[in-house]
Structure 1
């Protein structure tokens, strides 16, 4: 006869289960509790990001100046990097789109998400050095050839303080 791997109670040899009925139920309950905890942790993290996002509300410009903004202090150059990859299904469908033509929504969505992430990180970097704006923002996409089909987005700009 086989044994339950948790409590070592004898179970039927031909059973495909490795735990007795009681231990399976206990294990399932523990897994459910863990997933509930992780859902709560995700909600707390999301609320924290929303709160931080409200604080990190820097003005972002691709130009160095604007007629209605008076820059009082240039602090430093800030950068944010976001490396992202396409999974094999996105690669497959992008390859098909390349042959038959058309837009690849999956690739566009991945690139849009990475741009938003990089710009948010740039704002956060500026906030951490005491700036309330980033000017001269530049986005550069770099293909990482050694890492499979990955692309890195680098956002850079100058963290500044502007008058209110």
Structure 2
């Protein structure tokens, strides 16, 4: 399965457009991660804890996007867009939405 943010795949013309496909994932950061991230905010530097949470959420959304596209009979998803939002009380959770166009090349 080819997954790309571009609208075309070089050397592989789109034969069939199967429709829009999307996947969402919501992941929470627990209180210990919040405490350590808060300390990192005070002393400066990158928050590896939150970076790992974001990466995990992104990978989960992309896996689900691929599975949903395969169920539609696609062999590629083009024009993928990733959106990141905080949700929940006080922004305690991270939502990642992956959207693209399922196609057959």
The answer to whether the superposition gives a TM-score over 0.5 is yes
| Structure with the higher fraction of residues in strand conformation | 2
Match of 2:95 among 116, 137, 152: 152
| Structure with the higher fraction of residues in helix conformation | 1
Listed one character per residue, the Cα deviations across residues 83-123 of structure 1 (whole Å, up to 9, x for unaligned) are 01100000001111111101111111111111111101000
CA–CA separation in structure 2 for the residues paired with 1:66 and 1:143: 32
* Paired position in structure 2 for 1:133: 76
Corresponding residue pairs, total: 105
Structure 2: runs of 5 or more not aligned: none
Match of 2:85 among 132, 142, 149: 142
Q: Runs of 4+ in structure 1 displaced over 3 angstroms?
A: 145-148
Q: Which is greater in Rg? A: 1
CA RMSD, Structure 1 to Structure 2 (Å)? 1.2
CA–CA separation in structure 2 for the residues paired with 1:156 and 1:112: 17
Structure 1: runs of 5 or more not aligned: 1-57
